[in-house]
Chains A and B, each alone.
Chain A
Amino acid sequence: MFASSWLILLFPLLGFIGLSWYGNRISRNLVGLVGCGTIGASFFMTLVTLSNLLFLPPEERVGHVQTLYQWVSAGSFKLDVAILVDPLSVFMFLIVTGVGFVIHVYSVGYMHDDPEYSRFFAYLNLFIFSMLVLVAAADFFFLIVGWALVGLASYLLIGFWREKTSAVLAARKAFVMNVIGDVGMVIAALVIFETFGTLNFADVFASAPGMFRPNDDSMLLITLLLLVGAFAKSAQLPLHTWLPDAMEGPTPVSALIHAATMVTAGVYLVARCHVLYELAPYTMYLIAGVGIITAIFAGSMAMFQYDIKRVIAYSTMSQLGYMFLAMGIGVYSLGMFHLMTHAFFKALLFMAAGSVIHSLDGEQDLRKMGGLQSVMPLTHATFLIGALALAGIPLTSGYFSKEAIILSSYHADMGNIVFWAIAVLTAGMTAFYISRVYLFTFFGRLRSPAAHPHESPMIMIIPLLVLAVLALLGGVLGPWVDSFLAPVFGHVAYHPHDNALESIALVVGIGGIATAGLLYMVSKERLDLFKEALAPLYVRPTKAIGAFLEQKAEREGIDFTVDQVGLQIKEVSHGISLWQSGKVRSYALNMIVGVVTILLFVVFM
């Protein structure tokens, strides 16, 4: 019934192959048309699949595996080339192809003057294909295949401007950290295979509850290993350092990969394997803990950045922390809903920032912007909408999703007040930093007099408008998302209504905005005086702690260990190399020893 769903994956793949072979020989317009057209066709097929799925009653919507062909059939191990069509995967299809299509159209305008136009669209199509493989996989094998392909596409796209050294280094860093995640995933897959005898999602999830008690060692091991992959891909602590550097790539790349899709792969993974995670509550606590700590850490970092894209990158990290918090608490569909709204407003923010950068000829420093609200009204309006959604102002989509998570962090079974407190604090920080960016960019007077800002071309504005509408009105989709994903997760998420907590969160959010506004209004000199007064309080102790830690923890601890690993290997290999004396007779003796040993086995077996 869902045979046509294969087309969702096929179109971007054909786009990639076609554009990489013929992209140089066809006109730019055709390249843009093909590049966007394939994703548009994919989105259309996703809608077709969605409608097919909605025809079925909710209980029958899970578990449709469309097999292309049977690949491996070795004894009891079977591996098919297949895709899984169920509400969760279709949900991700919608986001990937929908937001992807919008970003593709935007890129037509943004990358218009770039000489490597066709290569960009080829890579973008490759990325969409890889991400679709990842979310459509029906077993762990193709999940990992998609996982690795996405890492590859990310590397290609971050380092797109090959002459820029910083971009190449950032791409390498991202790829290496992704590989660390890949290693965790592969080991997890091996352990899963050893435990369950199959890599198929359906089989593993069906048999897991019956085989293991909660917090069983093997469940903890599998879920922790999968978590390594998820955290590396979604830039959570401690595998987060690649995301800020990944902003070296073009802005559409940041919008697509580092806001809407690739970094959400980790969240998708936890959602898909929720059966395994429910059997390992310790890991769930770990997910929630790491998520919320990353959220506040990234939020605090975002407050002081001067590069507009870095702020938004840290913001992504922080919001992913929220999603992981939701996953860790057990309210999976709320996390997925936040994933969707976040895709809307974060991609919107990135693209609006890209519009600003584009009009200022590549300027990304906040201190050199300002006063753009009159010059770029549409960008201004859409950025504002995105900022309001991010800050969680009531009635925007971000409000619904973030509020739900913050409330659940207290009211859900596994929630507690610490999670809630940190979540609220981070929400305040979020409001602060995004207001700061907004004010720096659009208010006051333009601080770089040489620039000639102008409104971006329509082809870049229309995607912004589309996403702005979704960011504004997407909140109504909340209940639908919950009910749509319920068959996958087994239950509908409970939406608590606690007026006290809601109002606290609201007050904190408004407070954040107000603080930003206040600080912006205050003049620079007063701000410096203020900072100097408070300096001895927190600056010196922090520096002292930092120096101490650098010496003890870093140099003697970590550096020492890492250096020792290399040194010991060098020593051992030097010692072994002495065995190769160059003397024929000792080689002959070695041979005889070998022959004797082998004959020993032959004779006595």
Chain B
Amino acid sequence: MGQEFVLLVSASIFCVGTVGFIIRKNPLIMFMSIELMLNSVNFLLVAYSSFLNSLDGQIFALFIITVAAAEVVVGLAIILTIFRTRHEMDVDHIDVLKG
């Protein structure tokens, strides 16, 4: 199947994630779109580490998983804090920093 397929799949998932981030208003779904983007990159890295016969890609992907986990934890805590006090799940209404 080779490299073009991997590239296409990875790019597609990345673009789907990007679109999801821009379109959706629910912060949790936006977060999940970010996870999609990270996953796509992971896939690309792992596939290329296989093509190029070097473990660096897999190790990089491992670190990405680690950092993504940390990020999800902190991000969800932030979302929890914000939306608990405001009781609404719409990112567009959090625009205090405008102007």
Contact = CB atoms under 8 A, between A and B. Distances in A.
- Are A and B in direct contact (Cβ within 8 Å)? yes
A585 B96 contact: no
A582 B91 contact: no
Interface string B18-32: 100111010000100
B94 A585 contact: no
Contacts of A585: 21-23, 25, 30, 91-92
B98 interface: yes
Contact of A592 (B18, B30, B91, B98): B18
A585 B23 CA distance: 7
B99 interface: yes
Scoring B22, B95, B97 by chain A CB atoms within 10 A of each residue's CB, the highest score goes to B22
A512 to B, nearest CB: 65
A584 interface: yes
B94 A582 contact: yes
Interface residues on A, range: 10 to 19
B63 to A, nearest CB: 23
Nearest to A590: B22
A499 interface: no
A521 interface: no
Nearest to B95: A582
Contacts of A584: 30, 91, 94
Contacts of B18: 588, 592
Interface residues on B, range: 10 to 19
Contacts of B94: 582-584
Interface string B78-96: 0000000000000110111
B98 A582 contact: yes
B22 A582 contact: no
B71 to A, nearest CB: 16
B98 A580 contact: yes
Interface in A539-587: 577-578, 580-585
14 contacts: A578-B99, A580-B97, A582-B95, A582-B96, A582-B99, A583-B91, A583-B98, A585-B21, A585-B23, A585-B25, A585-B30, A585-B92, A589-B22, A592-B22
Given A582-B95, A582-B98, A585-B91, 14 more contacts: A578-B99, A580-B99, A581-B95, A582-B94, A583-B92, A585-B21, A585-B22, A585-B23, A585-B25, A588-B18, A588-B21, A588-B22, A589-B22, A592-B18
Interface of B: 18, 21-23, 25, 30, 91-92, 94-99
* 6 A-B pairs closest in CB distance: A582-B98, A582-B95, A582-B97, A583-B92, A588-B22, A589-B22
